[in-house]
Amino acid sequence: RASVVAHLKACGIVPETYVQRWFAGLTVHLNPFPSLFAFFDMFFENKTEFLIKFGISVFTELQKEILDTKRIDVLYEMMRFEPHCKSVTFDTQLMQRIVDKSMRIEFVKEFDINDLQQKMGVAIRRKMEEAAAAVDAVEVMES
C-alpha cells in the first residue's frame, strides 16, 4: 500500500509547509463553523494528542485524492485546505468525518508527548530561521 507521507515527500512537500495552517490557527479559518465545535471540544479535552490524531485523520481521509495527484500546486491546495481546491471540497461533512476519525484513533505505542512537542518546536524554529536567512539574503542582493 502506498504511503501518503512518502508520496508528499517525493513531490517535495514537507509538513512545515502546510501543518501550520492546521495547528497554529486550530483550523479556525479552515473548518466550517458546525464542525469547528467538535474540533474544539476534542482539542480542549485531549490537547496536542488530538492535533496529532487530527493530522493522521486528514491523511487517511484524503489518502486516495493525495495519492492520485501528482501536481504540486494541487497537493498544496489539498494539504492547506484551500477553499478554491477543485480536488476536494472542504465542507462540514468532510471536516466532521476527519474530526470523528480523530476521536477513534488509539495509539498502540506509548510515547512522550512533551518530547514530541519539543522536537516539533525545534524543527519549526529551524525552518523559520532558514526562511529568515533566505529573506535576508534576498534583501542583501537587492541592495
Res 74: pLDDT: 92
DSSP letter for each residue of 89-132:
---HHHHHHHHHHHHH---SS---HHHHHHHHHHHHHHHHHHHH
- Tens of pLDDT, residues 60-71: 999 999 999 999
What DSSP assignment string belongs to 65-84?
A: HHHT---HHHHHHHHTT-TT
d(CA 60, CA 18): 16
Residue type, 33: F
- pLDDT value for 111: 64
Q: Tell me the pLDDT tens digit for each residue of 13-54.
A: 888 788 877 777 777 777 788 888 888 898 899 888 888 888
Single out the residue of 23, 125, 17, 33 nearest to residue 77, CA to CA.
17
The answer on pLDDT for 1 being more than 50 is: no
84: which 3 cell numbers? 478554491
Q: What does pTM read for this prediction? A: 0.71
Q: What is the torsion angle, in degrees rounded to the nearest 10, for the CA atoms of residue 118, residue 119, residue 124 and residue 127?
A: 140
Q: How many CA atoms lie within 13 A of 141 on its CB side?
A: 6
Q: Decide: 98 and 57 in contact? Cβ < 8 Å.
A: yes
Angle made by CA atoms 76, 131, 79, in degrees to the nearest 5? 15
Local structure of residue 114 (DSSP, 8 states):
H
pLDDT in tens, 98-138: 999 998 988 766 666 667 667 766 766 676 666 666 666 55
